[in-house]
A and B are shown apart, each in its own frame.
Chain A
Amino acid sequence: MKKMLFGIIAAAVSLGMAGCATGTSNPTTSGTSAKEPALEVVGKPFSTERYGVGIPKDSPYCDQINEAIKSMISDGTWQAKLDSEMTGVKYTPNAATNPPAQFETCDAPGTAALVTPGKITIGIKFDQPHLGFKDGNTYTGFDVDVATYVAGKLGFSPDQIVWKEAVSAQRETLLQNHQVDMIFATYSITDARKEKVSFAGPYFVAGQDLLIRAGDTSITGPESLNNGKKLCSVTGSTPAQNIQDNYAQQVQLVQFTTYSECVQALLTNKVDAVTTDDIILAGLAAASSQ
């Protein structure tokens, strides 16, 4: 009897600890009113990442997606949605490449059917605030805004869209196995990926950049990280590997499995900068002010 009681108490304590430890990043439940962002993006991107719309090789929608993106840019919705997502953050996308003007050339349209007839299934990220984010039962973010607009031009109203999570390592598999119709998940266009899937777009051109504590003027770029400063990124991601290939001698790279751990390390002064694509950093900075 006593043993059972102890087992139950121990289980309750551990559940409490588990809930405490995993509740790291849900910016909308912090309860405080909007304040100055604690983080800011250093505005000098040092690589180019073109975010494309991933489609299976036999998709019939490539040209229509390109036309939809062009019309979104020309009627001002693209800029409006970007500004509203990045409110309060001192962030401007790279003006030399944004809004995108060069689009991928499409192959001849294929004959793939929709995953669910009458609905369009779109893969997005669920964990990138202000880009692709699942907030309870609603989905918010710039990727979601572009996807909704493109789906509208293809003839699907917002309640005919089925949103699925597209984890980075599984994006090619999801498209090849026709589990989604298209992917808007900060999906960079690379030749390696074009062996397995096709791309329409791009709808945004990002660049690798640094996120620092607001007011920290000692960091202006990767070269300024030499004197014992630490940089954080997500394990195995392209930005982390770029740093290891090109700046490894000067920079100490800490790698965690999620951006929220990196942001927490930045806020507690354990690292001095977080690196990934600039628009993802802007989303994290915007979330830090809520």
Chain B
Amino acid sequence: MEYLSRYWTFMAKYNVLNAFWVNVSLTLAAGALALILGTIAVTMRISPVSSLRLASTFYVNVFRDIPLTVVMVIMASVVWMQLNVSFSNDFHTDFYILAVIGLGIYHSSFIAEALRSGINTVPVGQAEAARGIGLTFLQSTRIVVLPQAFRGSIAPIGNTIIALIKNTTVASVTGVSTETSSTMQAAIEMGPQFIFLIFLTFALGYVIIVIPVGVLSTSLSRRLAVKR
């Protein structure tokens, strides 16, 4: 018990809640970017223009193959250091934006593949009927195919979001130094006698964040499934 109270006074120096909030905000921003880029990629993938199809295939395969840590190192070492890309005067904002871009691009490839599997659940007759009543490709995608595809791929998208929540810890490679993995390393460095409790604290925090997302994704995928 005295061990726990010593641990509590030790951990109070580290702003753990703020660290989790940084990860959650990275998830929200990168998730939005990934959904937008993934939808664009999958629309290119099913378009009638073959060069757009090839470009989308290339994009998805490249970003599924590069490990996330390498993407984040490229953001820090190549984009920020060598190419001198900068969005503001404050490097903290720069690193945050670069981390969001890196996470968003990486997960957009998984979202694109999840949406493509959702599109495959839509019967071919739907697209043919849309052509039959005179809709153009973009109209038929936007009005007929994609809404059904989204409703059919909620479970894989939910899985990708859960992976994204945990992958935001890799943002420390891009220099975001207030998020959970950096805070955990700082705590372990100064308090090695509490190492197991520190691990437990951060693991429990992530369990608390991820379980509701998983439950929500399962219940939504059942409720919104298209009844055919």
Contacts and interface: CB of A to CB of B under 8 A. Distances in A.
A and B held together in a complex = yes
Interface of A: 3, 6-7, 9-11, 13-15, 17-18, 21-22, 24, 168-169, 171-173, 192-193, 195-196, 230, 235-238, 240-241, 252-257, 261, 264-265, 268, 270
Given A10-B62, A255-B175, A238 B190 contact: yes
Contact of B80 (A9, A24, A171, A270): A270
Contacts of B77: 21, 24, 261, 264
Nearest to A6: B57
Nearest to A255: B177
Given A18-B67, A257-B172, A192 B61 contact: no
Summarize A's interface: helix, strand, loop or mixed: helix
Contacts of A173: 195
A217 B80 CA distance: 26
B87 to A, nearest CB: 14
Nearest to A233: B177
B2 interface: no
B68 to A, nearest CB: 11
B78 A21 contact: yes
Contact of B65 (A14, A172, A237): A14
A237 B190 CA distance: 8
Interface of B: 54, 57-58, 61-62, 65-67, 70, 73-74, 76-78, 80-82, 84, 91, 172-173, 175, 177, 181-193, 195
A11 B193 contact: no
Given A14-B65, A18-B66, A235-B177, A195 B57 contact: no
Contacts of B183: 236
Contacts of B58: 6, 9-10
B81 A21 contact: no
Nearest to A17: B66
Contact of B193 (A10, A22, A196): A196
Contacts of A236: 182-189
B82 A268 contact: yes
Given A192-B193, A264-B77, A10 B186 contact: no
Given A14-B66, A192-B193, A236-B185, A254 B91 contact: yes
A21 B76 CA distance: 10
16 contacts: A6-B54, A6-B57, A17-B70, A17-B74, A18-B67, A21-B73, A21-B77, A168-B189, A169-B195, A192-B192, A235-B177, A235-B182, A236-B185, A236-B189, A241-B189, A257-B172
A257 B173 contact: yes
A257 B181 CA distance: 10
A169 B62 contact: no
B190 A192 contact: yes
Contact of A169 (B81, B172, B189): B189
B186 A241 contact: yes
A269 to B, nearest CB: 9
A173 B186 CA distance: 17
B175 A192 contact: no
Contacts of B175: 254-256
Contacts of A240: 186
